[in-house]
Amino acid sequence: MLLVPGSANLAAPLQENSTTPGENPDSTETIVLAGGCFWCLESDLEKLPGVVEAVSGYSGGHVANPSYRQVSSGNTGHREVVEVTFDSRMLPLEDLLQVFWRNIDPLDHGGQFCDRGEQYTSAIFVTTPQQREVAEASLDAVQAQLADQPIATPVLPASPFYSAEDYHQDYAKTNSLRYNYYRWRCGRDQRLKQVWGDTMSGSEKA
């Protein structure tokens, strides 16, 4: 990123619940999602009712405790990711993934939007067989909706997650002017509109 100053299920609304997120430990899950710039994905996902925490970081590579500079080089095998902790009673994984898909371009094999390279490619990192089953079903639904266009977002087994540097966390809140300029310049929401139409889940729909 630049550091600069048709499935009916997919269209279903998120379920509403009055329970406070995180108060049911048995229903709390964690999943790691890669969708290009983690500033953007973190910002969009942490707004969802039922999300307990969203943390920007790195996963999928072969270097322990990588830095942003190392990951940005494209030589560590890591992707920029967001580790999402959520209350599945308030926000079922199916619904979380519905929002995730509409925050990415699943047809892009070379990155996401203006950010290019393996470190910006999309993926779903699952931690349990149940998560894999749900994730693969959601991928199949997206593939059916987008017809014959090959989906570039794999479902992968979880690998070590490393939290990104503090200045990357909640970047949309702490550096809103730079964040909004980056997001506009990168064309993220414009491309989401092209892929998903009125069902996009980018900042214009948040």
d(CA 34, CA 119): 9
**SS3 of 126, please?**
strand
CA 186 to chain centre: 16
Cα–Cα distance between 131 and 87 in angstroms, integer?
Answer: 14
Inter-residue contact 178 to 40 (CB < 8 Å)? no
Give me the average pLDDT of each 10-residue run along the chain (206 residues). Answer: 42 42 74 98 97 99 97 98 98 98 98 98 98 98 91 98 98 97 96 88 50
Instruction: Round to whole Å and give the CA distance between 78 and 65.
Output: 11
Tell me how far apart the alpha carbons of residues 17 and 118 are, in angstroms, rounded to a whole number. 37
* Residue ranges of domains in the chain: 25-199
Rounded (to 5) percent helix, strand, coil in the chain = 40, 20, 45
pLDDT tens-digit map of 47-56: 999 999 999 9
Q: What is the pLDDT of residue 148?
A: 76
Sheet holding 155-157, edge to edge: 155-157, 123-126, 28-34, 79-87, 51-59, 161-163
- The pLDDT assigned to 99 comes to 97
Q: Give the predicted TM-score (pTM) of the model.
A: 0.85
Provide CATH code, domain 25-199: 3.30.1060.10
Alpha carbon dihedral 109, 99, 164, 90, in 10-degree steps, equals: -150
Q: What is the pLDDT of residue 200?
A: 67
Answer whether 134's CB lies under 8 Å from 29's CB: no
List active site positions: 37
